[in-house]
Amino acid sequence: MKHNFIILLALLFISQGCTNTEKKKNTETIETQFNQELANELDKLADVDQTAANVPRGKFKDYSKEEFNAYKDSVFTANKKRAEEILDEYGYPGIDLVGEEGSSNFWLIVQHCDFDPEFQKRVLKLMKAELDKGNANGKNYAYLTDRVRKNTGQKLLYGTQVVYNNQGQAVSMPLEDSANVNVRRAEVGLPPLEAYLNSMTKFHFQINKEMMLKRGIEEPILYEVPGQNDSIQ
């Protein structure tokens, strides 16, 4: 009887060991596989997105303002529809699924879905889960966070959405807890807000240089950046 009991224990131990091994195998098989086809598709969608988001180029220079705006709306709407399908099938496409560039391309498409902030909010929530796993870009997350806040009437957290004053300086839209904005920016890998505003100010000056010169503004008016003793050039 004692002998039979020992055999039974041995069999249970072996069975448990097999079960644990099987669980380990199952866990290993659910690792996300890189999807090159999806990454390629996102690359193409992002190219079209950028054509629509920028000033008219190529054949689009001949479009009237109304025609180009209609084209832009059609691109953003079509891209949003496809982004929803991708989200439903894969969740937020993280770096493991489509690579750093592919994941950023998906984010870029969502950035231009301002006409549907509820969709942007949905993406932001899923993106945060991937960010916490190191599977999404922190800078992109900050930009989408501010985009959602702007589109839902809230104050920004990272200062990524700007307006311009009469001197052509970029100014952040209203901030929540403005005293700690650079702390938050550093946490996601963004430079100090003043450095970002300077880059936006320089860009604004260049594309509006003729108008700025007529106003008597001969060069971009920049902010002092914390931690930099020398003035920005």
* Residue 74: partners with Cβ closer than 8 Å, 6 or more residues away: none
d(CA 202, CA 225): 14
Whole-number pLDDT of residue 32? 81
Whole-number pLDDT of residue 11? 46
The number of beta carbons lying within 10 Å of the beta carbon of residue 145 is: 21
What residue ranges do the domains of the chain occupy?
Answer: 34-154, 160-233
Whole-number pLDDT of residue 230? 43
- Alpha helix stretches (DSSP H) within the chain: 2-29, 36-53, 65-90, 95-111, 117-132, 138-151, 181-187, 193-207, 209-214
Q: Phi, psi (5° rounding) for residue 191?
A: -75, 170
Write the DSSP string, 195-224.
HHHHHHHHHHHHHTHHHHHHTT--S---PP
d(CA 177, CA 41): 39
- Residue bearing the bigger pLDDT, 159 or 1: 159
Going by pLDDT thresholds of 50, 70 and 90, the confidence category of residue 227 is: confident
d(CA 102, CA 38): 8
The percentage of residues in the chain with a pLDDT greater than 90, rounded to a whole number, is 81
**pLDDT single digits (tens) 64-81:** 999 999 999 999 999 999
| Average pLDDT value for the chain | 88
User: How confident is the model over 47-59, as a mean pLDDT?
Assistant: 94
Q: Phi, psi (5° rounding) for residue 52?
A: -75, -30
pLDDT surpassing 90 at residue 24? no
Write the DSSP string, 178-195.
GGGHHHHHHHTTPPPHHH
- Residue bearing the bigger pLDDT, 31 or 121: 121
CA atoms within 13 A of residue 150's CA, in its CB half-sphere: 20
- DSSP H or E segment with residue 171: strand 170-172
**pLDDT single digits (tens) 142-180:** 999 999 999 999 999 999 999 999 999 999 999 999 999
List C-alpha distances in Å: 108 to 36, 59, 167.
18, 23, 30
User: How confident is the model over 36-46, as a mean pLDDT?
Assistant: 98
Q: Phi, psi (5° rounding) for residue 181?
A: -60, -40
Going by pLDDT thresholds of 50, 70 and 90, the confidence category of residue 31 is: confident
Residue identified by tokens 């997350």 is 141
